[in-house]
Amino acid sequence: MNWGKELRAFRQRTGLKQEAAAHLLGVSQAYVSRLENSTASPSSQLEMKLERLLQEPEHRPLFEHFRTTISHSPHLISMLAEIDGKIYVDTVSEALRDYGTPFQRLLPGEVLESANSDVIEILDAFLDLGAFSGRIASMQVTWTYDYEGEPVSHWRTTEIPVRDDAGRWYLHGAHVEISAEEKAQLLRDWDGHIKVRTFSADSDAEGDAEPKPANDIEAA
């Protein structure tokens, strides 16, 4: 392992100064600088200290703790990420993973996709609205899961943009199953499947902006 590179990346994520890192490791600030510049190699004892520093929970970046709270949440929660124009599943809660249909297909690290054109349309809307660039305050979506004879279910999902320690944006989604009647009412209230709350002063009294309507969608 390149300990100097790992230590530098750790300090950048956490905002830890070289002096503070030196204190935690029991070495000088000058030695930390040499280590990060690959002009010094740690002893086996120092490697053990570096490993503890980089891996112990109290030294993890704050966003890693946030991911952990999602993973162990008893609620139906997911978090999405965007890379090169594709939306990925970043984290899912234990409750969501154990719920079964329609969420058993949500696997962390995999692209969120579907053959259903409505799903493609609404995922494109996420990108068009700037959901992964901090341009919206929140977004609510109502959708229907109807896939190859499996039980039909209707959902309302609230998506909140959140940012990690490096400034990258994610969508934190909370899912609630609703009735067909409740979904129909939301479609009327929102005039479509998505309701967006923006930061714009030009939006209405509740700060809502409506993208183009989408048809019924299914979970990816």
For residue 216, being part of any structural domain is answered with no
Task: Please indicate, yes or no, if residue 145 is contained in any of the structural domains.
Answer: yes
State whether 115 and 202 are in the same domain: yes
Domain match, 118 and 78 both: yes
CATH number for the domain that contains residue 200: 3.30.450.20
Please tell me the distance from the alpha carbon of residue 218 to that of residue 127, in angstroms, as a whole number. Answer: 18
> Domain check: are 52 and 110 in the same one?
no
Say if residue 87 is in the same domain as residue 180. yes
pLDDT, position 17: 86
What's this model's pTM, rounded to 2 decimal places?
0.69
Q: Which of 60, 85, 109 is the last residue of a domain?
A: 60
- For the chain, give the mean pLDDT: 83
- For residues 25 and 56, state if they share a domain: yes
116 lies in which domain range? 64-209
Which range of 29-38, 100-109, 118-127, 197-206 scores highest in mean pLDDT? It is 29-38
Count of domains for the chain: 2
Model pLDDT for residues 178-208, shown as the tens digit of each residue: 999 999 999 999 998 899 998 864 444 343 4
pLDDT at 4 over 60: yes
